[in-house]
């Protein structure tokens, strides 16, 4: 998995609430490590190996702590000097891929 090749967007709002949803990397059966500005992930439950490039790694680290879609977008805009619309698209694709792999928890 590379953050530049990810698909689908996800709503950042809880239905019926003004509070933005907190997204977090699933905590069980998942091991990951930073290697040369990239994240390498082993999903023990799914027996899957994943890798995220530098921008994907930035998002992964924020998601490991728990973050919002807005904070992910801001991190890409600030870190890479890209337009907010492109950052939102990249974040949406990344979140979509993580969802497809069942790697996210929502609060």
Mean pLDDT of the chain: 85
Q: What's the predicted TM-score (pTM) here?
A: 0.79
Q: Is 107 helix (H, G, I), strand (E, B) or coil?
A: coil
CA distance 32 to 63: 12
Alpha carbons 91 and 79: distance in angstroms, whole number = 13
Give the pLDDT mean for 31-48.
Answer: 91
| Residue 18: pLDDT band with limits 50, 70, 90 | low
What is d(CA 12, CA 2) in angstroms, rounded to the nearest whole number?
A: 22
Reported as type and span, the H/E element at residue 52 is strand 48-52
Q: What is the DSSP letter of 4?
A: G
């Amino acid at each position: 998995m590379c953050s530049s090749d990810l698909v689908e967007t996800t709503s950042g709002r809880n239905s019926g609430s003004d509070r933005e949803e907190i997204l977090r990397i699933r905590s069980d059966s998942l091991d990951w490590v930073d290697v040369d500005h990239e994240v390498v992930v082993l999903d023990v439950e799914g027996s899957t190996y994943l890798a995220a490039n530098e921008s994907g790694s930035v998002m992964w680290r924020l998601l490991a702590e728990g973050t919002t879609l807005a904070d992910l977008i801001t991190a890409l805009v600030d870190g890479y000097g890209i337009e907010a619309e492109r950052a939102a698209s990249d974040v949406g694709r990344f979140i979509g891929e993580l969802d497809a792999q069942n790697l996210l928890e929502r609060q």
